[in-house]
Every structure is written in structure tokens, then in C-alpha cells.
Amino acid sequence: MSILQVNQTTQLLSLIGHDLKKAGRYHVGACPFCGGDDRFTVKHTPEGDRWYCRECGGGKYHTAIDFIMRRDDCDFKTAYQTLMGKNLEPTQTVTAPSIKPTPKPITLPSHEWQAQALQLVDKASDLLLFNKGQAGQDYLTQRGLHRGTWYAWLLGFAFVYDPKAKRNRPAISMPWLDMDARGEVITAVKYRFIDNNPEGLRYIALAGSMPLLFGLWNVLESDNTLLLVEGEINALSLWQCLPRGVSVLSFGSEGGGRADVMQAIANKYECVFVWCDDAERTKQYQAMLARPCEKIQSLKIDGEKLDANQLLQKGELHNFLNQILGVECLDSQLGK
């Protein structure tokens, strides 16, 4: 049997050793390697089962042979022989972490960390509005984001050290804020580098950040629709359109967000929509939410797939939201 046939015919669910929850063509549950409760996904495809873990999967899907190599800490040939039945016993016993779903308690950053983070946010916000922040102003304007959006979300400009490029680089700062009975809470600060350095990072978070969901501060009890979107810039673009009765939240970049937090929030809404750049990733988040929800497909114009911010720049986002969500956009054109 060829390598292709082995990967195509092996049923990953029989190798995992614990139950996963079925969600369409997917099974979702705890990772047999790093635990958790819903970070591990098995996708059933014509080419065979593929597995993915948000924490330890390296951001891509893997084959059955990859699974055995990881499980048994062995080389490719041994893993292949194991699945062929020539070596039925694993070369090494690996004790898997507990896979019993146990949601971790939400731990907010310390008051000291929050105070320091807010100082950095205030400093960056001030810098954005002065001459030294012109690069940040230009970037946000080119992305179609108005000054009113900068103010409302406390966006800022800063020079941040990029450990990959090994130097300070210009970046837009984006605080992740929430509100509780005591007032404002900050859980994370993300920086989006804007100088397009191919040798550097695109994003980095302030050390000690604990991102939950981006946009929690703006959730209204009167909203009956939730729109979960990939990427902070996309969330800002959607919020700027002010869709009536819609809460806009982002789980950040690919693989971000805590399932238990998203589930608890999503269950408060009548309608939930999920929008990722990749259709398969959208399906993963749909499964993660464990409730009925709709997916949004990015619009294609002249063969180009456009995300929320690209639609905003083209002046098409209002109409798109009206058609998809069936709501009126109350964009007050802040800053124009």
C-alpha cells in the first residue's frame, strides 16, 4: 500500500483514544498531545483524514502518518510501518495529558499590568495625533478608518521592537478593552507593524497580554445579532459602518479566541454570523461555537476575494452588510 493510500484509508478517530464531538465533516475536541477541550480538529476529506491543533499543530493540517510520528516520537518510515500493520506497537509510550474538558477560569491581567498597559495606550494614542505619528495616520486613512474610529477604539502609534527583524518598527497599537462593574478593563495590547518588512512580524502583543475577544467594551444588551470576524482591522471596519443591532467582535488572528468565552457570549444572541478569510477556518469556528450560526463568504469583485476592510476601502461594505445581515448601517461618517 502506498503512502498516499495509507493516509487516505486510515481513520484518525480510531487512533486518538478519546471521543470527539461531530460537527459536519469535522470532529472537534481535546488534543491528545497538549490537552485543552476544543483545540483539536479532525477533518474528513476525499484524500483522507487530516488533523489540526490550534496550540501545537503549527498552523496547518497533518496526515495520519504525521499523527503517528508525533504520538510515538518516531521517524516517517516507522510511522508508515505502524499504520501498515508491520509494527503494531508504538516505539515509545507517550503519556497524553488529561483530555477531560475542563474550561480554564478566566484570569485577567493584574491591576499593575493593566495600569502600565493603559499608560502605553494613552501615550501611543497621543503620538498618533501629532507629527511623529504621521505614518500611523496615513496607514489608518489608507485603510479607510476615520478619526472617530481612532478615538473610539483608542488606537495609537508606537515604535515597537520586533524580535524577528531585531529592530524597532512603526506600529498601530490596538487595545483589547472590556467593561465591568468597576469600570474599564484592558486584557491585551496588540501591535500591527505598518512598514511592510518581509523579514519581520506582522503582529506582536504586549508581554503579559491575555486576549479574550476584541471589542467587548462596545457590546450592547439591546443587540440581537453577533458578528464574529477574523482580524482587528476587519472588526474596526465593520464597527465603523454601525450596523443596527449588531455586536462586532473579533477573535484576532488565525486560531485566536477562547471557545468557552465565545460560546458564552454567542448564546446571548438570536443570530450569530462568523466571517474568516478562509472558508475552512469559518467552519471550524462554527463548530467551536456549538450552536446554530451562519457563515459569511467574502465577496469577490473582478476575481479578487475581499475581506471587510477591503470592502470598506472600495465603498462596498455598507451594501454588503445590508444584503447579508439584512440590517441598516448607521455610519455617521465620523471624521469626514
User: What is the number of alpha carbons within 13 Å of residue 46 lying toward its C-beta?
Assistant: 0
Burial-class residue 112 by CB neighbours within 10 Å (0-12, 13-18, 19+). exposed
Structural domain total, the chain: 2
- How far is residue 286's CA from residue 288's CA, in Å, rounded to a whole number? 5
C-beta neighbour count of 213 within 10 angstroms:
22
134 and 208 assigned to the same domain: yes
Of 264, 260, 220, the residue nearest 239 (C-alpha): 220
127 and 173 assigned to the same domain: yes
177 and 241 assigned to the same domain: yes
Question: What is the model's pLDDT at position 215?
Answer: 94
Per-residue pLDDT for the chain (336 aa), expressed as one digit of tens each? Answer: 778 788 888 888 888 877 788 877 788 888 888 777 788 899 888 878 998 888 787 778 889 998 988 888 788 888 888 888 744 344 444 444 444 445 567 778 899 999 999 999 999 999 999 888 999 999 999 999 999 999 999 999 999 999 988 999 999 999 999 876 566 899 999 999 999 888 889 999 999 998 889 999 988 889 999 999 999 999 999 999 989 999 999 998 755 777 888 899 999 999 999 999 888 888 888 888 888 999 998 888 788 889 999 999 999 999 999 999 988 888 744 444
233 and 145 assigned to the same domain: yes
As a whole-number percent, the residues of the chain with pLDDT over 90 amount to 43
Of 154, 147, 152, the residue nearest 122 (C-alpha): 154
Contacts of 115 (CB under 8 A, 6+ apart): none
116 and 236 assigned to the same domain: yes
133 and 269 assigned to the same domain: yes
CA distance to 185, 286, 321, 335, per residue, from 331 (Å): 27, 28, 12, 11
Task: List strands edge to edge, sheet with 183-193.
Answer: 156-162, 167-180, 183-193, 203-205
Task: Please indicate, yes or no, if residue 90 is contained in any of the structural domains.
Answer: no
CATH number of the domain where residue 279 is located: 3.40.1360.10
Task: Please indicate, yes or no, if residue 95 is contained in any of the structural domains.
Answer: no
131 and 41 assigned to the same domain: no
239 and 313 assigned to the same domain: yes
Of 225, 213, 241, the residue nearest 309 (C-alpha): 241
Place of cell 486510515: 10
202 and 141 assigned to the same domain: yes
Cα distance between the two ends of the chain: 65
Where would I find the H helices in 161-289? 232-240, 259-266, 279-289
Task: Please indicate, yes or no, if residue 91 is contained in any of the structural domains.
Answer: no
Spell out a b/e string for 45-64, using b for 16 or more CB atoms within 10 Å of the CB, else e: eeebbbbbbbeebeeebbbb
- Tens-digit pLDDT profile for residues 110-133: 999 999 999 999 999 999 998 889
- How far is residue 223's CA from residue 132's CA, in Å, rounded to a whole number? 39
CB-CB contact of 215 with 249 (8 Å): yes
Domain with 69 in it: 3-84
Question: What is the model's pLDDT at position 233?
Answer: 96
164 and 309 assigned to the same domain: yes
Question: What is the model's pLDDT at position 99?
Answer: 46
